[in-house]
Amino acid sequence: MPFSNNPQAVYNGMLSGQRQMFLSSSLALAMIGFSHNFKKQSIIWLVKIIGMLILILSIFIGLRTASDFDYYLNNVKGTLPEYIPLESWRKWTYVSYTYSVFIMLIGLLFFIRQIL
């Protein structure tokens, strides 16, 4: 079966990955913030740890989405139709990388705050 190149499907997959990154990081930050509402210290730490794990997952999703989309754009340059705005699409990887770094900084600040 020959390989089929559908740039719109790849673009939609990239946007879906970014949406998952935004949603999971929002859930993680809400869990971390909400953890203070519990009375038992063990539950507070459990919710915070789960929140941090989801935050790490969000970072991973963002970095993989950007990396995979960038890989696709770099390897199909000559085969994309003329109407595909290649440079505009490439800028979406910067959104994923920037947001991932932003979430890393938030996670790092949270981690430092818990230690101090």
Q: For 56-92, how does the pLDDT look when each residue is reduced to its tens digit (9 = 90+)?
A: 999 999 999 999 999 999 998 778 888 889 889 999 9
**Which tokens sit at 67?**
């990396």
* Domain residue limits, the chain: 7-115
In the predicted model, what is the mean pLDDT of the chain? 91
pLDDT reading at 2 higher than 70: no
**Which tokens sit at 81?**
């139709």
Mean pLDDT across the stretch 93-97? 94
Please state which of the ranges 12-16, 21-25, 62-66, 84-88 shows the lowest mean pLDDT: 84-88
Length of the chain: 116
Instruction: Work out the pLDDT band at 3, boundaries 50, 70, 90.
Output: low
Mean pLDDT across the stretch 10-23? 96
Largest CA distance in the chain: 60
